[in-house]
Structure 1
Amino acid sequence: MSEWKQRCEAEWGLQGAPMPDGVDWKAVYEAAPLGKNLLKNPAPHGTTAPHGLSKDVPPPEPDLPEVPPDGPPRFQPDGDFTGWTTSTEVLPYDSSGIPEGAVICNLPTFSWFTMEQVVDLKAEGLWDELLDAFQPEIVVQDWYEESQLHKSIYQLQVKLLGADRSTVISEHSVSPTEELQNYSHNWKAVAHVFSGYGPGVRYVRFVHRLKNSFMNGFFPTLFTGSSVIVKPVKTSA
């Protein structure tokens, strides 16, 4: 067994995992793909770049302007979204819950801000035999702000894809409903573990959407600590 192969086995406790001689174990060791976050720029909000906001510190309180801002509405929060593919969807006005005949001078404009990354597992240093036979756990985690803007402010969809980047081998979606009766302003955790998902996984597609509001100012729903981590742990389906 080569020195680099031995290092990989000892470093990540890969006893029992397939480790064929044809793999460049020096490159795998240097890439260190197991146990680290494979998402780029996982906390793009805030002014403390490159670290951004932290789940260990409460989210910042909303900035309430004394004078309504001039200019067109905003639909994208501040931040450096390098590494993410982003898009915005402006939603129709929500008039539900307004009594018939009531006169409304202004309504908030809601929008979804969508961020996506696709992780190439082989490019990160993982190898076919590990993904197909050992099927290590793929752990997904995210933290979003209790912005209290709406009962639906966060959605997450994660898909494990085949080599063609389109075949879905396994997927997990979350769309929680917020409790608005009592004020709370903390980070909320979302997590899922993929295991026993079957052979063929080569990519992880991570997509989350956060709802923003604009009315006499821009009020976002923030996120932090997004992660996709492959762990050297094998579990059955």
Structure 2
Amino acid sequence: MGQAKSRRRADVAPQSSQGAPSQMDVTLLPQELLVLILSWVPGRTLVTVGRLVCREWRDLIDSPVLWKLQGERDPSKREAFRAALEAARHCPRMEWARVGVLQPFGRNLIKNPCGEEQFLHWQVGYGDGVCLGDNTCWISQLVDLVKEGLWEDLLDTFQPDIFISDWWGTHEKCSCTYNLYVLLLAADRNSVITRFVTEMDPAAEWNIPFQQASHVFRKYGPGVRYLRFQHIGNRPGPEHTEAHITNSTVLVKLSG
């Protein structure tokens, strides 16, 4: 009896020790722990892969809790997430997965706002580009608002405020002019829904310090999908220096 019992244990023990290690079923984890684990996964992976796992994961990724954990952990995301929480107070249909990855609120949507690296991301024109005259120069950037993280229902129904600003100044005695043109465009990129144009007085003084031109688009109506940001300088002669521009900004905020 004793030998038979010992032999039975010997038969069972190797199967247990040599078998494949058991794998944890994450679907059995408490939701609080599952959210914490998922919050360490990169945002784009969560959206492109995690949402497809099951309905529970999809619902967690589409809620603000997971993105709040990421925002609190990463200092570079905190301001954008605070702006998103403020927006959520006024928009009950927030697309949190989209907002968590692209962070459209409280972030400058202009790329290369100071025109560095030979105006990377900007279109540059001279001569009679937009304004006639051989001494005219302009730079322009088209912002795809949907690609930057906003969505059609938000733009059409809730119409968040769009803040634009630009800093400009001159050096040397140049008698330059500075004009800022910002257009809100429809999906065809050509139809203008509304615009802001500021025409500054000629800068005829030596070393004009940087000053700000700004505007807020509110209640602009449905259909906005793009924003054209363009500033134009004109100088009286090629021997003079044109206006200098820096820190161009487009911010989207949703508030009451």
Q: TM-score range by the shorter chain?
A: 0.5 to 0.7
Give the number of equivalent residue pairs: 177
- In the aligned structure 1, how far is the partner of 2:111 from the partner of 2:232? 17
Give yes or no for the alignment of 1:163 onto 2:234: no
Cα deviation code 1:170-209 (max 9, x no counterpart): 10101111363x6452102100000011111110011111
Per the alignment, residue 222 of structure 1 pairs with 244
CA distance in 2 between counterparts of 1:82 and 1:214 reads: 24
Conserved in 2, the CA contact under 8 Å of 1:18 and 1:134?
A: no
Counterpart position of 1:96: none
Q: Which residue pairs with 1:177 in the alignment?
A: 201
Report which structure shows greater RCO (CA 8 Å, sep ≥6). Answer: 1
Residue 140 of structure 1 deviates from its aligned partner by 0.6
**1:116 alignment counterpart:** 140
Aligned letter for 1:6?
P
Structure 1 unaligned segments of length 5 or more: list them: 46-78, 92-108
> In the alignment, is residue 84 of structure 1 matched against residue 108 of structure 2?
no
Q: Give % identity.
A: 32
Matches within 5 A, 1:123-134: 123-134=147-158
C-alpha contact 2:178 2:202 (8 A) present in aligned 1:
no
Q: Which amino acid aligns with 1:154?
A: Y
Secondary structure of 1:192 counterpart = strand
1:158–1:171: 8 Å Cα contact kept in structure 2? yes
* Alignment RMSD (CA, Å): 2.6
Q: 1:166 to 1:5 in 2, by over 3 A?
A: farther
Name the TM-score, length of structure 1 as normaliser.
0.66
Shift in CA distance, 5/220, structure 1 to aligned 2, threshold 3 Å = same
Structure 2 counterpart of 1:232: 254
| TM alignment of 1:1-237, pairs within 5 A | 2-7=60-65, 11=82, 12=84, 13=86, 14-19=88-93, 23=95, 25-44=96-115, 80-89=118-127, 111-147=135-171, 148-150=173-175, 152-178=176-202, 180=204, 183-212=206-235, 213-215=237-239, 219-234=241-256
Deviation at 1:128, TM superposition (A): 1.2
Q: How many Å separate the matches in 2 of 1:222 and 1:110?
A: 18
Q: Sort the Cα spacing of 1:27 and 1:220 in 2 relative to 1 into closer, same or farther, 3 A.
A: same
Q: Which runs of 5+ in 2 are unaligned?
A: 1-58, 69-80
* 2:196 aligned partner, one-letter code: H
Q: Distance in 2 between matches of 1:6 and 1:90?
A: 49
Counterpart residue type for residue 122 of structure 2:
W
More helix by share: 2
Deviations 1:85-132 (A, max 9, x none): 1110169xxxxxxxxxxxxxxxxx971211111100000010111111
Q: 1:206 to 1:82 in 2, by over 3 A?
A: same
Q: Which residue of structure 2 lines up, in the alignment, with residue 67 of structure 1?
A: none
TM-score by length of 2: 0.62
2: CA distance between counterparts of 1:19 and 1:232? 13
Which secondary structure does the structure 2 equivalent of 1:29 belong to? helix
Separation of aligned partners in 1, 2:92 and 2:185:
21
